[in-house]
């Protein structure tokens, strides 16, 4: 059983990833921690609570950081990608559920301390909550089982950036937090654009999810309409990359990914703000800088099959 904290700025692909986790066999979701990013913190927290109510997710919801620790590339939220409400502007009813009293970073620290060496943190938004948790508990790297981050781009398979020529959105939204997390010694795997942009969901894929996944499948189909329109304007194709669910896929089936070990740093100012740079040369990085695992390749067909099968299991 994998015990998981999901740290998320719930927009459209985050919601898809949350359902992936919720319906995966052998996952116990210990908590959902929210962050700003795809929308403001009130909206992403409301979205987490909405998902909890609608899909009967037991895990408590903790409200996380409202803003970046350092310079960010953004001064607004990407409603052109995820909609004003973060979920493709579908109708969202009043939500009765409320977040827990504890702050997101404090919740990460206490859940990890309550389950030493057992917790996998899957982070698919800004790394602000994780950086705050490290500040509260510098021993976190020794206590956590693994951290899987969707973010960054390292140039493998020709992928470099999606919000600038060199930067990916989750990292560009709080480069300082990301640099602290990547150099902290946390047992970290980074699932970047290098592999998330290699997995493409098209109309046939979304129709299959809608037709086989019961209520979850129909929900995914509904929220994806807005997201697909954005991507179609960008690329001319009515399809999208599979970002946040790729971090969940790595949690469930790391064998679907090719990886390498590297020191990773983040550019925290200037024209290349948010760029993730890597080296596996000790002479370049210094031998005492902790390494991360970065994903360089993916079996995209098997990744998509895992997603389809997991969501379809919700309808059984």
Q: Which is nearer to ligand BDR, 170 or 184 (CB)?
A: 170
Site for ligand BDR contains 14 (CB under 6 A): yes
The span from the CA of 227 to the CA of 80, in Å, is 8
Q: Give the one residue of 2, 5, 13, 144 binding ligand BDR; rule: CB under 6 A.
A: 13
| Residue 168 near which of ligand BDR, Ca ion, none (CB within 5-8 Å, type-dependent) | ligand BDR
Sheet containing 61-62, strands listed edge to edge, beginning at the edge strand earlier in sequence: 61-62, 27-34, 2-8, 119-123, 146-150, 188-191, 292-298, 257-266, 276-279
Q: Give the one residue of 122, 124, 166, 167 binding ligand BDR; rule: CB under 6 A.
A: 124
The span from the CA of 274 to the CA of 238, in Å, is 28
The answer to whether 249 and 195 are in contact (CB under 8 A) is: no
Active site residue 117: no
The answer to whether 52 and 59 are in contact (CB under 8 A) is: yes
Distances (CA, A) of 41 to 84, 134, 208: 13, 20, 32
Site for ligand BDR contains 170 (CB under 6 A): yes
Q: Which is nearer to Ca ion, 191 or 312 (CB)?
A: 191
The answer to whether 167 and 273 are in contact (CB under 8 A) is: yes
The DSSP H or E segment spanning 152 is: none
Per CB under 6 A, which of residues 194..253 are in contact with ligand BDR? 243-244
Site for ligand BDR contains 7 (CB under 6 A): no
Q: How far is the CB of 35 from Ca ion (least distance, A)?
A: 9
- Phi/psi at 135 (nearest 5 deg)? -65, -35
Q: How far is the CB of 141 from ligand BDR (least distance, A)?
A: 23
Site for ligand BDR contains 38 (CB under 6 A): yes
Distances (CA, A) of 177 to 125, 184, 265, 308, 313: 11, 11, 11, 33, 36
Among 98-106, 164-172, 232-240, 289-297, the segment contacting ligand BDR (CB under 6 A): 164-172
Among 87-95, 163-171, 230-238, 286-294, the segment contacting ligand BDR (CB under 6 A): 163-171
Active centre residues (catalytic): 243
Residues that bind ligand BDR (CB under 6 A): 11, 13-14, 38, 81, 124-125, 150, 162, 168-170, 243-244
């Amino acid at each position: 059983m994998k015990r998981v904290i999901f740290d998320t700025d719930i927009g459209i692909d985050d919601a898809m990833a949350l359902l992936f986790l919720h319906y995966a066999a052998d996952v116990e979701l210990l908590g959902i921690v929210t962050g700003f990013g795809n929308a403001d913190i009130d909206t992403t927290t409301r979205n987490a609570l909405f998902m909890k109510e609608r899909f009967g997710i037991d895990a408590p919801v903790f409200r996380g950081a409202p803003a970046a620790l350092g310079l960010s590339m953004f001064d607004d939220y990407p409603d052109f990608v995820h909609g004003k409400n973060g979920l493709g502007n579908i109708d969202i009813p009043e939500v009765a559920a409320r977040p827990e009293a504890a702050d997101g970073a404090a919740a990460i620290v206490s859940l990890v301390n309550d389950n030493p060496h057992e917790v996998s943190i899957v982070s698919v938004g800004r790394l602000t909550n994780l950086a705050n948790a490290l500040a509260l508990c510098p021993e976190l790297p020794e206590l956590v089982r693994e951290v899987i981050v969707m973010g960054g781009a390292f140039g493998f398979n020709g992928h470099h950036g999606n919000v600038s020529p060199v930067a990916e959105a989750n990292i560009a939204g709080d480069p300082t937090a990301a640099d602290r997390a990547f150099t902290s010694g946390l047992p970290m795997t980074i699932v970047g654009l290098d592999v998330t942009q290699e997995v493409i969901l098209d109309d046939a894929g979304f129709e299959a999810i809608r037709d086989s996944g019961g209520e979850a499948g129909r929900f995914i189909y509904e929220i994806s309409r807005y997201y697909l329109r954005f991507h179609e304007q960008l690329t001319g194709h009515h399809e999208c990359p599979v970002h946040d669910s790729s971090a969940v896929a790595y949690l469930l089936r790391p064998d679907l990914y090719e990886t390498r070990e590297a020191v990773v740093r983040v550019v925290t100012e200037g024209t290349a703000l948010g760029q993730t740079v890597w080296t596996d040369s000790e002479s370049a990085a210094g031998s005492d800088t902790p390494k991360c695992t970065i994903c360089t390749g993916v079996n995209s067909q098997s990744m998509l099959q895992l997603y389809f099968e997991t969501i379809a299991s919700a309808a059984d």
